[in-house]
Structure 1
Amino acid sequence: MKEIGNLLRKAREEKGISLDDISKETKIQKKYLNSLEEGDFSLFPGRVYVKGALRNYAEAVGLDPAEFISLYEESVKPKKVSEEKNQSKEVKDKKTSPVIGKEKKPLLPVSALVWIILLAIIASGSIWYRYHQVYKGEVKIPYSGEKYVDEEENDEKPVDSKVLPVDEPQNTKKLTKISGDNLEISFLLSGVEQKEIILTFTGNCWTRIEQDGRLVEEKTYRSGDYKNLGDSTETRLRLGYPPAAMLKVNGFEVTDLNHLTNPINIIIRKER
């Protein structure tokens, strides 16, 4: 993992490019770029995001994206194979472990068994006799109709007349669909300080992105690419083939795109 990050950092420093420059060009937040150079991919939500970030970073510094994606897949593969070997070894050890036979305890002699049975019969008869004697002498208490009140439970403590303070509910983040048809869908994001939009592509999709009226990018994305958009009041997206795009807004996944086959406009506004 660190080998990949060292190669990226070396190429960037040789070209005299800063992380801020790459962040502006690729629209990837600086914290994710730092994570790539450190070889720590735990910040990314999944492997598809790592591959997309590697592809964009490599293109920005003039390297072959396919080579870095191949290096990443090779670095992940040995861990998986090692886990499978360890699991198969554990199963094999369990199967081949010798079974230690239990020592057979000597059976009780017949005379001891007879005495145990006799004692059990005597004990059962004694219990049956005592139960019936008690049952015969039982006297029912007449019901007087008065309700029994426990004096300790009846001693009520005075109720404090003061009003207890109630914590006001905090704002929770929410993504609300305002309007929508086959041509345009509008959403309102509330309860957040910053808006974060993640686009992940599973196929070819021409995309136009605008933030607060400013054109950010217009290009065709391919399978494995992803785009991370920072905070803005209004974001407008134009997707040429919606089923090839996965859209998340502050963790909320927009599922209205799967059934659309025509280009769609998506507007996402943040509540002020």
Structure 2
Amino acid sequence: MLIDWFTVGAQVLNFVVLVWLMKHFLYQPVLNAIAAREKRIADQIADAAAKEKQAVTERKTFEDKNASFDQQRAGLLDKATADAKAEGLRLADEAQKAALVLASKHEHALAMQAAHLQQTIAGRAALEVFAVARKTLGDLADVDLESRMVGVFSRRLRELPDSAKTQLAAALKPGAEPAVVRSHFALPADQQAAIQNEVNVCFSADVSLRFETTDGAVCGIELSAGGQKLAWTIADYLRDLQQSVAALLVPAAKPAAAPKHPDAVAP
């Protein structure tokens, strides 16, 4: 069998050309496409990983912010609760103080009303006793009350203790302001003269006296000079009645001090 080397060479040449053509126009583009696809896939995977990492970071940041917000909200809620409780206590305390002040004012107003009523009752009682005593003395002894008062006052003046007489004598010394004799009624001239004479004899001096009437000395006579005072009135005897009335009006009140003797000399 004869070999046609020309044909073999042509076929070899054709095969080499075919291989070169396939490699240049088919195999290399396929390799390039495969490499490009692999690169694209790798880039996508890297991008997905980066996005996943960013998402994890953002999620952690969000969770931290959410936890911080919950903590701040809890703190604000606790503060608001504490402030509301403190405000409630303050308002309750103010309301209690206002109630106490109102109760005190009401109690003071009641005490003032009771004192006014007590004073009114005592004053009316004094006037009634004055009228009854005047009528009784006039009916039984045929002596008016005023003249009897002058007699009692003169006797009290003579019976003054030495210490009280010394104090009153110092106030009645010559050259001093005239002593004032006050009475609820206007003393007639003879009774004024009787008192003047009794004072001069008692203090062994010519004492200047000025006679006045006043609503204060209910049924009685008062001698005052230089801050010293000698008084005899039925008001002293009515003080017990006044205290009894006060005890009825205000049972919880403390008992008043015992009344002074009507002959006491007050500075």
TM-score under structure 1 length normalisation: 0.18
Give the structure with the larger strand fraction: 1
Q: Which has the higher helix share?
A: 2
**Computing the radius of gyration over CA atoms, which structure comes out larger, 1 or 2?**
2
- Give me the TM-score of the superposition, normalised by structure 2: 0.19
